[in-house]
Structure formats: C-alpha cells, structure tokens
C-alpha cells in the first residue's frame, strides 16, 4: 500500500488569518517502509515572515524571496500525492494549510478520508507525551539532526515513527510487494505451495542395504520392545501397526 508521509512549515498557526505554507516535505512509503522517493519544495509565501515562525524553522523572507509560489509547484505536488493516503503528525494542522493553498489555486481539497493522523494513533496506542521528538525518543529514532523544524527532515523522521506505530520493525520482513513478488498466504492456506515435481530420493540402494545390515546386528532393538496403547496400535497413519506385548 502506497502512502505519503508529509510535513509542512508555515508563516504561523492559522491559514484563515493569512498564514501561508513556506516548505513542503513528503516521503513515499510502501507498506509503511520508505522507498527513498521524496517531494521537497521551498515556497515563496508572498508575505513577510513573523519572527516567531522564523525562530521555529529558520526560513527568512530573504531566503524565500526567489523561491516558487505555491501555484508553480501545485501540479507536481498533487502528482506525487496522487489518490494515496496522506500521513501527517497532527494532520489537521498540515491539511488545513495544504487545503487553503489548494483552494487559492482553484484545486479540490484533500478529503478527510485520505488523511491518516499519527498523533491520533500515538494517543490511542500509549500515553503522552506524543510530540515527534518524544516519539523518536520512545522508538529509538535518531533525531539528532533536528536542531530546527524542517519539513523534509521531519517527514523522514515521521516515516520511521510511522513504521513503529504501524507494527514495528517486523513490518520490514513481510515478503510481499506490489510487483508480483511473494505475498502472505491466505488464512488456512499452506505456508509453501507443493513442488511441481517431487524431489528425487537422495538415499541410494547401497546405503539402504548398509543400513539394513547394520540394524540386523541388534538382537533386540529397543523400539521393538515399546508397548503402544490399543488406540495407537492400528495403522491409521498408513504405517505398520505395532502390537502390544
């Protein structure tokens, strides 16, 4: 299953008061495993950068002044997202900003059913704190590079956290893919399909004769002295019955 793990940086906290997206980082995952395929863009917000927001992500108005506006990258972003799930931490925040930008470009919004919120998953799974830093510490994800917020780095860290929230590192051992590889067996199905042709026996006639000669050297083999219960003395399994003494 393909999903897109996303993070944004913005000029503030509320798109309805004029705050805009200034960075998008998105990571493609298949079956919760990052593929290495990413989308990243710095965006000119066409407005000033408040000091409080600058302290969070370090993106100045000067740095963003020559970057493309959202309308210039929207088609590439939507092509990367497709119709797959969008995974974000405190997703209502990121999706509100993304949908505001989409609306300004005349594009349809990301629908709620397409969104997965890792914050909600973490809250259901265990007690707080459940910030991205806290979850990285809980799951042993190295967040030492995170000196400031950055959309692509945070999306990469969240992809690792999402793997843990989705079932842990054992997910990486699922022998399945979407290109015709091995897939998990259906319930009740044999773990391995039958061979098209049985393997040839590896014991030679000479080895069988040598084994029979060796067994003949025992005057009373131990297994011939075993007494079985009457219920097991029949040949229900197709082998020779063993009579009780």
Phi, psi of 242 (to 5 degrees): -115, 115
Q: Flag whether 57 is marked binding.
A: yes
Q: Flag whether 117 is marked binding.
A: no
Closest residue by Cα to residue 39 from 25, 52, 50: 25
The alpha carbons of the chain give a radius of gyration, in whole angstroms, of 31
Closest residue by Cα to residue 157 from 6, 2, 37: 6
Q: Flag whether 142 is marked binding.
A: no
Distance CA 171, CA 86 (A): 19
Number of H helices, E strands in the chain: 8, 5
Q: Let me know: does 20 contact 174? Beta carbons within 8 Å.
A: no
Instruction: Classify strands 2-10 and 115-117 as parallel, antiparallel or unpaired.
Output: unpaired
Q: What share of the chain is helix, strand, coil (3-state, %, to 5)?
A: 40, 15, 45
Name the strand (E) or helix (H) holding 47: none
Q: Flag whether 9 is marked binding.
A: yes
Which residues are part of the catalytic machinery? 149
Distance CA 48, CA 46 (A): 7
Residues belonging to the binding site are 7, 9, 57, 154
Residues belonging to the binding site for a divalent metal cation are 7, 9, 154
Residues belonging to the binding site for substrate are 7, 9, 57, 154
């Amino acid at each position: 299953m393909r999903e897109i793990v996303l993070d944004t940086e913005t000029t503030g906290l509320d798109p309805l008061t004029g705050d805009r997206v200034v960075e998008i980082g998105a990571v493609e995952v298949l079956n919760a495993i990052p593929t290495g395929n990413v989308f990243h863009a710095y965006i000119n917000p066409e407005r000033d950068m408040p000091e409080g927001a600058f302290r969070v992500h370090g993106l100045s108005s000067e740095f963003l002044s020559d970057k493309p506006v959202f309308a210039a990258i929207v088609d590439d972003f939507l092509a990367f997202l497709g119709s797959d799930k969008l995974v974000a931490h405190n997703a209502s925040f990121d999706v509100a900003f993304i949908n505001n930008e989409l609306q300004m470009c005349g594009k349809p919004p990301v629908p709620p059913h397409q969104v997965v919120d890792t914050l909600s998953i973490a809250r259901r799974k265990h007690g707080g704190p459940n910030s991205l830093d806290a979850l990285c510490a809980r799951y042993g994800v190295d967040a030492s590079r995170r000196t400031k917020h950055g959309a692509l780095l945070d999306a990469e860290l969240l992809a690792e956290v999402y793997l843990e929230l989705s079932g842990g590192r054992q997910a990486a051992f699922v022998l399945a893919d979407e290109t015709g590889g091995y897939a998990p067996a259906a319930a009740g199905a044999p773990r391995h399909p039958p061979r098209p042709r049985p393997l040839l026996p590896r014991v030679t006639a000479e080895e069988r004769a040598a084994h029979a000669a060796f067994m003949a050297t025992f005057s009373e083999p131990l297994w011939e002295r075993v007494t079985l219960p009457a219920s097991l003395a029949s040949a229900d399994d197709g082998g020779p019955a063993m009579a009780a003494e």
